[in-house]
Amino acid sequence: MKICIIGTGYVGLVTGVCFSDIGHNVICVDKNIKKINDLKKGIIPIFEPGLDELVKKNYKARRLNFTTDLINSIKKSNLIFICVGTPTKKKSYSADLNQIYSVVNVIRKNINKFKIIITKSTVPVTTGDKIEKLISYKKSKKLFSIVSNPEFLREGEAIRDFMYPDRIVVGTNNSKVNNILKNLYEPLIKRGGKYLNTSRRAAELIKYSSNSFLATKISFINEISNLCEKVNVDIQDVSIGMGLDSRIGSRFLRAGPGFGGSCFPKDTRALLDTAEKFNTKLSIINSAIKSNENRHDILLSKIKKIIKGKISKKKITFLGVTFKPNTDDMRESPAIKLIPKLHKQGAKISYYDPSGLKNVFKTYKNVNFFNKISSACKNCDLIILHTEWNEFRNLNFRKLVGNNKFSLYDMRNIYSKKKMINSGINYFSI
């Protein structure tokens, strides 16, 4: 099959590379010229384990190509996957679909033979209907079919998630088109991925509901951890005890600094916004969002307590600033809220992250990146373990700081409180 992937970001690049790896002919398109030129040279624009080798292998085998030429790529392909961004609109909760519609505009002018147009981007329910209406002003419905095929991969595990999916959801009422997509995904279905064909609207809603449910689980356990701190109970005991119930499950039930990343915050907001447009209240999701938005205030007051109220001039080191390990994605990371607030109150921030320097902090005078854990920690007053990268799991904090006078706030609960306190470290966790 000739596949065109529009948008070569976290989802588009992984989708394109994986489809090429299972034998399809893929052209990945992006409007970002530098990104495309880099990819042709084997320079990968994102940090994603395993991606590098797969891109090089399939590019060399000529199954995978990169271009900025959208029109030609559309004309040459049978299957067109839309993988552009759908961020939150400014000053609103709704999804900004400008990137989607600008691509749809080009597609509708360049349909030269039958095309299956698939939205892999996360889009609000009924977006597929709108795309179909827009294209049918210009082209006969016989020349195209609009499908929803939401993506469930997780950054940091993207290749594995794509190649060994739990489920593949395809939203279309057209049985011929459904068969084509089932064939496309056949190698992944053979590996155990469950294939689910639904209506287009249901597929769109499955994606938002799944992300909102997981985000709610995180907000839920974070609120329980607030109560645990008041009654001196270890939240991890509660998480484990709850998670052992197979109806509940242990995943996404770990207390921490709150949910972030490119999906949960924007998708919960967009679902709320969509529901409002259809005159429906989603009070649980609303609460999960509000709880998460207030999370950094709870963490800040704990930080103040740890350093006894005096933030000004204190040297605070962040270990990890991304929203989770094994990604360089900073979108809506809790650190983006915490660091500027601490900086405003006069703290001197050092940070180390295995995925490197972050542009979001470049404008702050007293926020500095160090490319070694030891340089970032030297002589600090407080270490905040913000992201659970594996390289933070076995550190000798005393040696790193160079004295005994520091505190450690482990926001991911990766160290044993007992061991830390026994070794004389002023240790705090969630």
Q: Which residues bind ligand NAD (CB under 6 A)?
A: 6-12, 29-32, 35, 70, 83-86, 99, 102-103, 121-122, 151, 153, 155, 262-263
Which residue of the chain is nearest ligand NAD when measured via CB? Answer: 9
CB of 122 vs ligand NAD, minimal distance in Å: 4
> Alpha-carbon distance 371 to 27, whole Å?
36
- Token match 């597609």: residue? 107
Long-range contacts of 207-210 (CB under 8 A, 24+ apart): 207/122, 207/150, 207/151, 207/152, 207/169, 207/267, 208/122, 208/124, 208/125, 208/267, 208/270, 208/271, 208/274, 209/271, 210/152
> Alpha-carbon distance 11 to 87, whole Å?
14
The nearer residue to ligand NAD, 35 or 348, going by C-beta atoms, is 35
| Cβ-proximal residues to 27 (8 Å cutoff; 6+ apart), any chain | 2, 3, 4, 5, 16, 65, 66, 67, 73, 76, 77
**408: β partners:** 383, 427
The nearer residue to ligand NAD, 9 or 258, going by C-beta atoms, is 9
Catalytic residue among 18, 28, 83, 263: 263
The nearer residue to ligand NAD, 162 or 406, going by C-beta atoms, is 162
CB of 35 vs ligand NAD, minimal distance in Å: 6
28 is a catalytic site residue: no
> Alpha-carbon distance 196 to 206, whole Å?
11
User: Which H, E and C letters describe 226-291, residue by residue?
Assistant: HHHHHHCCCHHHHHHHHHCCCCCCCCCCCCCCCCCCCCHHHHHHHHHHHHHHCCCCCHHHHHHHHH
CB of 69 vs ligand NAD, minimal distance in Å: 10
The nearer residue to ligand NAD, 45 or 354, going by C-beta atoms, is 45
CB of 103 vs ligand NAD, minimal distance in Å: 5
CB of 386 vs ligand NAD, minimal distance in Å: 19
The nearer residue to ligand NAD, 101 or 195, going by C-beta atoms, is 101
Catalytic positions are: 263
